[in-house]
Amino acid sequence: MSLLDDFIVRAVLAGLGLVIAAAPLGCFVVWRRMAYFGDATAHAALLGVALALTFNISIFAGVLSVALIMAVTVSALAGRGFAMDTLLGVMAHSSLAFGLVAVSFVPSVRVDLMAYLFGDILAVGRSDLVVIWLGALMVVGLLYWRWSALLTATLNPDLAYASGISPKREQIILSLALALVVAVAIKVVGTLLIAAMLLIPAASARAFARTPERMAVIAMVIGMLSILGGIQSAFTFDTPTGPTIVCVGALLFVVANLVRLVRGQAK
């Protein structure tokens, strides 16, 4: 009997695959204050699910296509006179609504909406694991390749221009990485909780990080603890696994900031 025959092992591996991509990317989301952007891209994923079911293609391909379109559209419209918070709000909620309506027009396929909204990590199969880890490694490779340029464009756009780096190009690269993470994460935590897995580990890591690289590594560790603690807690208390993972992450965020407060008062 193979170790991968155990659905708990597959769930843990899927969660860890998501975290190694989402945690460092989440640091850029926090630094750039792109939380609503991540939310909009994640909400669009449900429309991708509906299109995939309609045209009988892979869910991953459908979600990735729609997430890429959303990410590139928002990046293209940024700085062109649009109020970005309003635009993102309209796109996030309308794409989610269109996705829900579109799913109802696919009567030949029985769709478990809860699984796509909140994830179904315990149902991850071997083929899903391959997709999750390939996607995660692509995101990690992309971030490693562009780390210095992305960091410069994030922290000081003027310095980036002076160094021959295009902040707009780096923004598009981040958007592509975000779309890939959304496509990978939908099976694990669902469309409504993807943004939480991007933000919470990175925001928690801020309390302990002195350098960007250290923040990315600590965010990975916190994300892994959220996955392991969430799966264990879900079994112990018989709760939905995806939301429980996010709840554990939220508790770690509270603990991290309490530690920072205590440290600050002790100095």
Q: Tens of pLDDT along the chain (267 residues)?
A: 566 668 899 999 999 999 999 999 999 999 988 877 778 888 888 888 888 888 888 888 888 898 888 877 877 776 665 666 777 778 888 888 888 888 777 766 666 778 888 888 988 988 999 999 999 999 999 999 999 999 999 989 888 999 899 988 898 899 889 889 988 888 888 887 898 999 999 999 988 888 999 999 999 999 999 999 999 999 999 999 999 999 999 999 999 999 988 887 766
The whole-model pTM stands at: 0.90
What local confidence, expressed as pLDDT, does residue 193 receive? 86
What local confidence, expressed as pLDDT, does residue 83 receive? 66
Distance CA 217, CA 202 (A): 9
What CATH fold (topology level) applies to the domain 3-196?
Answer: ABC transporter involved in vitamin B12 uptake, BtuC (1.10.3470)
